[in-house]
């Protein structure tokens, strides 16, 4: 089955700096890669996703890049703010009929220092 590795496990950045979180996946059939932000005591919130037919996607301060050949994808957050502090999870999955079943990375705890 799919295996998703996520690095780093913790990341501290100064407010205004950029943060980059990287994930690798093992199953070349995977074609859907979402990123979730989880605040303490809450469910994961989708922040951006990318499908295998594109190499990059951007939404304001957040961007995701995908390298299918190398089987890795990355989350980029620019101009970080204290409210970006949370645990971020990457996931990979294969879209079959009706749904995707996701395999999650172990998470990255991002701390943005004011």
Partner 1 sequence: GAVVSQHPSRVICKSGTSVKIECRSLDFQATTMFWYRQFPKQSLMLMATSNEGSKATYEQGVEKDKFLINHASLTLSTLTVTSAHPEDSSFYICSAPDANSGNTIYFGEGSWLTVV
In sequence order, the β-bridge partners of residue 1 are none
Block residue for tokens 């199953």: 27
Nearer to partner 1 (CB atom), residue 17 or residue 56:
56
Contact between 60 and partner 1 (CB under 8 A)? no
User: Residue 66 has which token pair?
Assistant: 């995908």
- Bridging pattern class, strands 86-96 and 72-77: unpaired
Each residue 87-106 as x (binds partner 1 by CB under 8 A) or -, in order, gives --x---x-x--xxxxx-xxx
Nearer to partner 1 (CB atom), residue 19 or residue 36:
36
Contact between 42 and partner 1 (CB under 8 A)? yes
**How far is 102 from 35, CA to CA, in rounded Å?**
11
Contact between 36 and partner 1 (CB under 8 A)? yes
- Bridging pattern class, strands 72-77 and 19-25: antiparallel
Residues that bind partner 1 (CB under 8 A): 32, 34, 36, 41-46, 49, 51, 89, 93, 95, 98-102, 104-107
């Amino acid at each position: 089955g799919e295996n998703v590795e996520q690095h780093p496990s913790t990341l501290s950045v100064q407010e205004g700096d950029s943060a980059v979180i990287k994930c690798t996946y093992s199953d070349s059939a995977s074609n859907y890669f979402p990123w979730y932000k989880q605040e303490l005591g809450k469910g994961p919130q989708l922040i951006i996703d990318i499908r295998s037919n594109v190499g990059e996607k951007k939404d304001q301060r957040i961007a995701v890049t995908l390298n299918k050949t190398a089987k890795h994808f990355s989350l980029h957050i620019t101009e970080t703010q204290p409210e970006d502090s949370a645990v971020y999870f990457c996931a990979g999955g294969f879209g079959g009929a009706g749904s995707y079943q996701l395999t999650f990375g172990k998470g990255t705890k991002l701390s943005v220092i004011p």
